[in-house]
């Protein structure tokens, strides 16, 4: 206890300027307390009909000259396969509450066109619909997460969609699916009942939404052995009242999950010409770097606030907290459509990703899923494709590499621990720690992931291993000379490489962590 107290004191009280010295970071791990398994769904993705996420990102169509697997861009498909995506949310986002699924089934030539009002007024030809999405999930081996239309749809429309996808009966909906080329029902577990119902999904008050949720959920049935996991549209960031009302009015028996959206964004409004003032994804000062980190790390307090509300009604933690939108949000790249949310991705994004995942791992008794926004070409993307030269090989972003490196934590037991480290003063109100960590164990292998948030100094991390005989296995590092480094078409500047700077000495693991780096240390 004394030890824990002094550790917490070191971490939370003073030390506003950073001094680098030998073993300046101490981590204490508790392998004996490793109980919670990290759900693989924490590594979920999100694909919205927004900009070039679906069209030009995932889907090019079977007749495209771009190499494809049944219409899915081959390089993107292969990269997602390597990533072992566990779950993918679709079709939105804000798009979901204007989406009418019947427009996206049947022969592609005859599908009606619609205006994508949320995202740049682009005309959507509906060539990517239910079959194209669910078949992609099957090919990737990931769970589909369908986001249903509550804002502008009807309970009947959503009920029929569930029946169309999951019923093996001879009902009209199941027969229609067969006529459209799919004999066997798909397995669909996750169903979102609306999206951002407090905003683009209907601008509702939580009391009204709660009633609507109850009504819609009644008609979303389980067909055969398909068991739906129903997710209520949750809060925007720290709107704890939204969670409170939903927990009280919907209650634990009717929903399996409640979502949370939290973006690492600093928003200074809009310029007179309509362009955003969220800062550039590529050009930023050290101060702006730390400001974004402070914002992204703020998700921990936000999670705690919502968990507090959920715990009051659901102490046995039956309802999962699903962080089904998170990530960085910057200005679009100059010259691109402002409604398409296309941004580049640097080592800064990688650090936001690793440190956010570190936080999610700590609350897996409540957090059952997280979906970074978004998978291709939108916001903090895993993958980018070239708008001007679509034949160019796709780019794997630094964030992609973090997800690939962190795969090792999926379904591993989380090892709790504490850290003593210095803090960096961001401004007169905010500080960020110099180092973030997470650890897990699976099949006798322990992986410790460390992120050095400090842009200027390396840190020497000492980790207790209680004198256990461990050997350092093949370890990896993701870093670059400059935190602004990013990958571009034909330029692979940021990728993981072997890491050798970890050793066991005097009963401790000692890791030398370079500035702005992410390291996976494997212990056997």
Half-sphere exposure of 75 (CA within 13 A, CB side): 18
Cis peptide leading into residue 374 (ω within 30°): yes
Q: How far is CA 406 from CA 40, 42, 244, 346, 358, in A?
A: 10, 11, 33, 18, 10
Smaller CB separation from ligand AHR, 94 or 383 = 94
In the set 7, 29, 38, 48, which binds ligand AHR (CB under 6 A)?
Answer: 48
Smaller CB separation from ligand AHR, 173 or 370 = 370
Is position 206 an interface residue for ligand AHR (rule: CB under 6 A)? Answer: no
d(CA 417, CA 406): 18
Set 41, 143, 325, 476: catalytic member = 325
Is position 194 an interface residue for ligand AHR (rule: CB under 6 A)? Answer: no
Is position 93 an interface residue for ligand AHR (rule: CB under 6 A)? Answer: yes
Give the torsion through C-alpha atoms of 320, 357, 399, 445, to 10 deg. Answer: -110
Is position 124 an interface residue for ligand AHR (rule: CB under 6 A)? Answer: no
Is position 54 an interface residue for ligand AHR (rule: CB under 6 A)? Answer: no
Q: Which residue is at the shortest CB distance from ligand AHR?
A: 93
CA atoms 315, 320, 324, 327: torsion sign:
positive
Is position 325 an interface residue for ligand AHR (rule: CB under 6 A)? Answer: yes
Question: Could you confirm whether 325 is annotated as catalytic?
Answer: yes
In the set 71, 86, 92, 148, which binds ligand AHR (CB under 6 A)?
Answer: 92
Is position 373 an interface residue for ligand AHR (rule: CB under 6 A)? Answer: yes
Is position 260 an interface residue for ligand AHR (rule: CB under 6 A)? Answer: no
Smaller CB separation from ligand AHR, 67 or 121 = 121
Question: CB-based contacts of 1: which residues, under 8 Å, 6+ apart?
Answer: none
The CA angle 97-100-101, to the nearest 5 degrees, is 115
Half-sphere exposure of 448 (CA within 13 A, CB side): 32
Tell me the two tokens of residue 15: 């030390």
Q: How far is the CB of 89 from ligand AHR (least distance, A)?
A: 10
Q: How far is the CB of 263 from ligand AHR (least distance, A)?
A: 7
Question: Could you confirm whether 196 is annotated as catalytic?
Answer: yes
CB atoms within 10 A of CB 24: 20
Tell me the two tokens of residue 305: 């606030």
Q: CB under 6 A: which stretch of 37-45, 372-380, 402-410, 483-491 binds ligand AHR?
A: 372-380
Set 196, 291, 309, 476: catalytic member = 196
Q: Which residues pair with 276 in a beta bridge?
A: 270
d(CA 58, CA 77): 7
Q: How far is the CB of 381 from ligand AHR (least distance, A)?
A: 11
Residues known to be catalytic = 196, 325
Sites of contact with ligand AHR (CB under 6 A): 48, 92-94, 195-196, 325, 373-374, 379
């Amino acid at each position: 206890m004394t030890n824990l107290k002094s550790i917490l004191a070191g971490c939370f009280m003073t030390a506003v300027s950073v001094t680098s010295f030998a073993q300046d970071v101490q981590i204490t791990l508790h392998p004996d307390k490793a109980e919670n398994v990290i759900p693989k769904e924490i590594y979920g993705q999100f694909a919205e009909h927004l900009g070039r996420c679906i069209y030009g990102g995932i889907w090019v169509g079977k007749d495209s000259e771009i190499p494809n697997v049944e219409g899915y861009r081959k390089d993107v498909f292969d990269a997602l396969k390597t990533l072992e995506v566990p779950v993918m949310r679709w079709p939105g986002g804000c798009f979901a509450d204007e989406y009418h699924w019947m427009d996206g089934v049947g022969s592609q030539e005859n599908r009606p066109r619609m205006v994508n009002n949320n995202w740049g007024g682009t005309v959507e030809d509906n060539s990517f619909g239910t079959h194209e999405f669910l078949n992609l999930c099957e090919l990737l081996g990931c769970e589909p997460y369908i986001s249903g239309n509550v804002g502008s749809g009807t309970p009947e429309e959503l009920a029929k969609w569930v029946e169309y996808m999951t019923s093996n009966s001879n009902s009209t909906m199941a027969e229609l699916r067969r006529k459209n080329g799919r004999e066997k029902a798909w397995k669909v577990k996750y169903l979102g009942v609306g999206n951002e119902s407090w905003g683009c999904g209907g601008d509702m008050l939580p009391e009204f939404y709660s009633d609507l949720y109850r009504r819609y959920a009644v008609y979303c049935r389980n067909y055969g052995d398909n068991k739906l996991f129903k997710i209520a549209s949750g809060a925007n960031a720290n709107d704890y009242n939204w969670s409170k009302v939903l927990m009280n009015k919907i209650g634990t028996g009717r929903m399996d999950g409640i979502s949370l959206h939290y973006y690492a964004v600093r928003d200074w409004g809009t310029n007179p010409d309509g362009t955003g003032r969220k800062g550039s994804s590529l050009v930023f000062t050290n101060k702006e770097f730390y400001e974004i980190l402070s914002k992204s790390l703020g998700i921990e307090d936000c999670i705690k606030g919502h968990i507090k509300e959920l715990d009051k009604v659901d102490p046995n933690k039956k309802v999962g907290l699903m962080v089904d939108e998170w990530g960085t949000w910057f200005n679009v790249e100059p010259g691109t459509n402002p409604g398409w949310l296309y941004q580049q991705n640097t080592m800064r994004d990688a650090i936001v990703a690793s440190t956010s995942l570190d936080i999610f791992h700590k609350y897996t008794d409540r957090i059952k899923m997280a979906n970074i926004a978004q998978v291709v070409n939108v916001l903090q993307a895993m993958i980018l494709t070239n708008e001007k030269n679509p034949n160019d090989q796709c780019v794997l972003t630094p964030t992609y590499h973090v997800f690939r490196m962190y795969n090792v934590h999926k379904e591993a037991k989380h090892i709790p621990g504490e850290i003593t480290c210095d803090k960096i003063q961001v401004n007169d109100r905010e500080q960020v720690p110099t180092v973030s960590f997470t650890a897990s164990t699976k099949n006798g292998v322990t992986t410790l992931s460390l992120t050095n948030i400090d842009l200027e100094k390396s840190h020497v991390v000492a980790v207790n291993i209680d004198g256990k005989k461990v050997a350092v296995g093949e370890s990896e590092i993701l870093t670059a000379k400059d935190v602004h480094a990013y990958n571009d078409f034909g330029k692979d500047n940021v990728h993981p490489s072997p890491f050798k700077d970890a050793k066991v000495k005097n009963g401790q693991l000692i890791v030398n962590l370079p500035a702005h780096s992410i390291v996976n240390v494997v212990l056997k």
